[in-house]
Chains A and B, each alone.
Chain A
Amino acid sequence: MDPDDNSAAKKRDSSSAKGHTKKSAPGLRGMSKAFYVLGAVYLLGVFVQHVMFGAGWVVADGLLATSARVGLIAFLATLFAGYHKRWRLLLASNRFAFPALVVVTAFSIAGTLILQGQPSAVLLRAYGSGAVTLIRAFFLDDVFHSFGFTAVMGCGAGGLALTLCRKRRWTMRYAGAVAAHLGLLLIMAGAVMGNVWGVKGRLNMHTGQQSSKFVATNGDWLPLGFDLRLDRFDIEFYEPDYRLMVFDLTGQKQKRLDSIDPAGEDASLAEHGLEITGFWPDYVKRAVVEPAAPGEENSVAALGLKPVADTRAAIAWVFDAGDKKGAGLALGHGRLMFFRYLAQAEDFVQKIGDPRAGPRHVLQVAGERLEIEAGGRYPLQGGRYQVEVVRTFTDFVMDSQTRSPRNRSERPDNPAVELRVIDSGGKEIDRLWLFEKFADFHGRSDKPYARGLGYEYEAGPLAENLLAVVSAEEHRLWQVGGRDEIEAEKLETDSDLRLGNVDYRIVALHRDARRSFVESSRSERQENPAVRVKLEDSGNEVLLRPGKPVRIGNGLGIVLAHKGGERVSDYLSTVSVIENGEVVLSRVIEVNDPLEFGGFAVYQSDYRPEDPTFSGFQIVRDPGMWVVYTGILVNALGVLWIVFALPAITRRRRRVGAGEAA
């Protein structure tokens, strides 16, 4: 890519008529040698990768840095080769640049045609064993991190550098080409710096948590140099707006035929043989309960409650739980269970009085499950080690004031256990924190005592703390404040009942009741939409809920889906940077707006829909960032110079030349 070749080309052009193309371009003759060189470099890279992988010198997480080093070595080797004139003439010429472009292009295309970074089973299913052997032999299943590819890139960059170092007259004419190529070199140099000397990792946090370390991609815990605390995490949503979407399912890919506003009238509904018979923006199925005669068929026991503070609220109905797990009514942190028969209710109360039925902390040791409790000691690795349970938590949080762990609540939001590891001589050799939701948090995967070690929290038969059990037979209530605090009392209709810290009024208490349901909408906002659709062919009706498609025959499918596709408009993590115990910076991290502090950039990168307190960050320290940015700018300016300024300069010179000639 030598701008000096331009003059040679011009000379050649002047000897051949414009537009005549039969002669091959002399500047590109002899490219085969360059292809051989690049092929040899690639194969050498493949060989080195096999040797290093075979010897276990490269772990998967260190592949990026190692392949960047290979590229750097290829670059330096090319510069060294260029010291010899014979090689320099090849490497710093278009006869080398063009083949390098072709080879990089070919590998880039291959990287999009062959599945990348997939496990063997997926590749075998896609290509068969013969092809997979070949793909694996040349590392084509991870082309862009393969040593062969980075070696070719490094070699091409070396040729580029040699071209720029060639002696030439420095004129404005070449400024653009030099800048464009220099920019590319800077970009590649910055990328290598970032991969070799930079750090990348993750930090998963819950609100209230504080951390001074993060997990690097190779699994090591690295210090940040400051403490980062997640103060709050918010997810902002777009206004919900659902559509009834009709799909053609006959082809290989589903094709959307229509997007219909369920609240409006649309003629295309009839075309698809559909009729909307009901639409509820915020769907709720309300129970209508009437007293029934004792023993009446299909009758149920029913308890109706209203909060005393809000008499306009709808009646909350609780029906006979029977043996159904998870039945009853959720009330704050507790649950109200309701049974028709006294014996059932007594059985239930007795069951929750049994400690074995309560929550359990379970240690998994090499596939074996041990129920543990604070203070207990348990053997590990056939007795070579022991662990002593120091503390257990149902909802672990790091207290920002005391900077020590504490239990935020009895809800099992973040169960954790602190362990002391003791060797066979009785000496404490380590302390471990195990979190149910972050299996690798302990960061001791390489230690023998941590192998196969896991932790689970079992909530027991009830997901939450039980508040009360009611029997309809004798109108009796058991208030359960803890396993040992069970109080029974008689209930009456229209009497008040305190559950947790809320007062309820019993508006109905039926041992036998008839129950039916009415579909209605709580509000006009599409929080929980539902559409009832009549299929004209069969006359059947289906109730569509968001994200649950229904096949309706004739090769068509319908689904109620969010019109805008994307529901989340923003993720906002409010964080504090703490140094020496003092908050030095508080700000919000969003996508496209990372926090930069102490040489690190903290990016918003993850969230969990089921856990609103969780936020995940990507942590990056990239010493090559400004080199890359400079390269981007220099390259773009160079290209713009070539495209816009150079033709203007050339035209002006021609005009001046023509004027002088005249």
Chain B
Amino acid sequence: MTEAATILTGISLALYSLAMILYAAMWLATSRLLRISAPCVLVAGLLVNLFQLFSRWAEAAQPPFKTLYESLVLLAACIALVYLVVELVYRARILGLPSALGCAAAMLYAFLRQDKDVVNLPPALQSGWFIPHVVVYFFGYAALFVGAAAAVVYLLRPKPIRIRRRDLIGRETIDLEALLDGSVRFGFALLTVGLMVGCAWAKVAWGDYWVWDPKETWSLVSWLVFAAYLHLHYLGGWRGRRLAVLVLVGFGAVLFTYLGMNLLPTAEQSVHVYQ
């Protein structure tokens, strides 16, 4: 299974990388071929990615969300799916480059990982809560990634974007702030549901909703930052650049929650840390 995993990871990595190149080319040139091929290649990458995910699921007879490798594969698929929905809804490909870059980066990291073996689930993870908790969280992460990508593009081009290349924005102008806000709100809702599902699950498994485990605490920190975003944006009147910076801070907290736990001195006290 390890060899198959390596091959499939390599193929989706290649496809995501190609999609990234095609989306990047759209910033430089207008071409119908690019407009059609970039999302098609991204979809192809996603299909391989999903095949990899579900075939592993079927073969191991357990959800493949245990190791960092498996979670990276899931994250790449979630980012691609969320981005494709954004592209369909907003009819804009301006976030295609960073999204494909995110997918490729996740896949590259997965490709380089040595934990491709299927590992057994400990008793605590053999629960009906496991799949909704992880899937909801990772779609939330993906939505916040797309929001952070919009924030980066916004910060690089602070004024409402007017680009001649309709390939990228689909129409005359695009309200990046609305796109960013939509992604963040969607991501925040999923973070909330994921957090609440996690609490309920912890109660069923261990008898405690919350034990201030470092990962739990950092997921609360991420949630608090995006809660602050909602309050500052809707009630405090925050707009523009500082809102975009706040989204990047929030996504930094999310990224740290996902990958940074090993850097904490309290990591050994956590039951959530990837080995």
Quick check: B232 and A569 within 8 Å, CB to CB? no
Within 8 A of A (CB), among B200-245: 200, 203-207, 209-210, 212, 214, 217-218, 220-221, 224-225, 227-228, 230-232, 234-243
B40 located at the interface, meaning its Cβ lies under 8 Å from any Cβ of chain A in the complex: no
A564 located at the interface, meaning its Cβ lies under 8 Å from any Cβ of chain B in the complex: yes
Encoded as 1 (CB less than 8 Å from any A CB) or 0, chain B from 173 to 213 comes to 00001000000011011001100100110011111011010
A628 in contact with B209 given A104-B224, A112-B264, A116-B266 (CB within 8 Å): yes
Quick check: B120 and A592 within 8 Å, CB to CB? no
Tell me the interface secondary structure of chain B in the complex. Answer: helix
Quick check: B265 and A603 within 8 Å, CB to CB? no
| A595, B177: Cα distance in complex, Å | 50
Quick check: A632 and B199 within 8 Å, CB to CB? yes
A639 located at the interface, meaning its Cβ lies under 8 Å from any Cβ of chain B in the complex: yes
| A94, B235: Cα distance in complex, Å | 8
| A257, B238: Cα distance in complex, Å | 48
| A11, B230: Cα distance in complex, Å | 17
A6 in contact with B234 given A112-B214, A632-B196 (CB within 8 Å): yes
Quick check: A603 and B117 within 8 Å, CB to CB? no
Distance in Å: Cβ of B108 to nearest Cβ of chain A? 17
Residue of A238, A569, A618 near B206 (CB, 8 A) is: A618
A410 located at the interface, meaning its Cβ lies under 8 Å from any Cβ of chain B in the complex: no
- Chain A, interface size category, equals 35 or more
Residue of B160, B193, B203, B209 near A636 (CB, 8 A) is: B193
Contacts between chains A and B (CB distance < 8 A), count: 182
Chain B residues whose CB sits within 8 angstroms of the CB of A594 once the complex forms = 204, 207
Nearest neighbor of B181 in chain A, beta-carbon distance: A647
A605 in contact with B206 given A28-B236, A108-B224, A112-B218 (CB within 8 Å): yes
- Chain B, interface size category, equals 35 or more
Quick check: A108 and B123 within 8 Å, CB to CB? no
A563 in contact with B117 given A94-B231, A591-B205 (CB within 8 Å): yes
Quick check: B203 and A625 within 8 Å, CB to CB? yes
Interface-lining segment among A14-22, A356-364, A496-504, A516-524: A14-22
Quick check: B265 and A115 within 8 Å, CB to CB? yes
Distance in Å: Cβ of A99 to nearest Cβ of chain B? 10
A536 located at the interface, meaning its Cβ lies under 8 Å from any Cβ of chain B in the complex: no
Residue among A20, A563, A591 with max Cβ neighbours from chain B (10 Å): A591
Quick check: B235 and A2 within 8 Å, CB to CB? yes
Residue of B119, B177, B210, B224 near A105 (CB, 8 A) is: B224
A26 located at the interface, meaning its Cβ lies under 8 Å from any Cβ of chain B in the complex: yes
| A633, B197: Cα distance in complex, Å | 10
Chain A residues whose CB sits within 8 angstroms of the CB of B115 once the complex forms = 256
| A149, B126: Cα distance in complex, Å | 34
Quick check: B188 and A564 within 8 Å, CB to CB? no
| A643, B207: Cα distance in complex, Å | 31
Quick check: B228 and A19 within 8 Å, CB to CB? no
Quick check: A259 and B192 within 8 Å, CB to CB? no
B162 located at the interface, meaning its Cβ lies under 8 Å from any Cβ of chain A in the complex: no
Distance in Å: Cβ of B226 to nearest Cβ of chain A? 10
Chain A residues whose CB sits within 8 angstroms of the CB of B192 once the complex forms = 635-636, 639-640
A101 in contact with B227 given A94-B235, A115-B265 (CB within 8 Å): yes
Chain B residues whose CB sits within 8 angstroms of the CB of A639 once the complex forms = 188-189, 192-193
| A118, B207: Cα distance in complex, Å | 23
Residue of B122, B189, B242, B265 near A643 (CB, 8 A) is: B189
A191 located at the interface, meaning its Cβ lies under 8 Å from any Cβ of chain B in the complex: yes
Distance in Å: Cβ of B218 to nearest Cβ of chain A? 6
Chain A residues whose CB sits within 8 angstroms of the CB of B269 once the complex forms = 116-117
A563 in contact with B266 given A105-B221, A592-B126, A592-B127 (CB within 8 Å): no
Residue of A111, A115, A259, A591 near B217 (CB, 8 A) is: A111
| A580, B214: Cα distance in complex, Å | 45
Residue of A98, A259, A569 near B236 (CB, 8 A) is: A98
| A569, B120: Cα distance in complex, Å | 8
| A557, B230: Cα distance in complex, Å | 50
Within 8 A of B (CB), among A547-597: 563-571, 590-594
Nearest neighbor of B158 in chain A, beta-carbon distance: A19
Distance in Å: Cβ of A21 to nearest Cβ of chain B? 4
Quick check: A243 and B160 within 8 Å, CB to CB? no
| A108, B218: Cα distance in complex, Å | 8
Distance in Å: Cβ of B222 to nearest Cβ of chain A? 10
Distance in Å: Cβ of A186 to nearest Cβ of chain B? 12
Chain A residues whose CB sits within 8 angstroms of the CB of B217 once the complex forms = 108-109, 111-112
For this complex, 24 residue pairs linking A to B, each with C-beta atoms less than 8 Å apart, are A3-B235, A20-B240, A26-B237, A108-B218, A109-B221, A112-B264, A112-B266, A113-B264, A113-B266, A256-B115, A563-B119, A564-B117, A564-B120, A566-B121, A567-B120, A569-B121, A592-B205, A594-B204, A603-B205, A618-B207, A622-B207, A632-B200, A636-B196, A642-B185
On B, residues with C-beta under 8 Å from A are: 2, 114-124, 126-127, 129, 159-160, 177, 185-186, 188-189, 192-193, 196, 199-200, 203-207, 209-210, 212, 214, 217-218, 220-221, 224-225, 227-228, 230-232, 234-243, 264-266, 269, 275
Can you list the 10 inter-chain pairs with the closest CB atoms, starting with the nearest? Answer: A564-B120, A21-B240, A643-B189, A591-B123, A25-B237, A25-B236, A566-B120, A144-B212, A620-B207, A5-B235
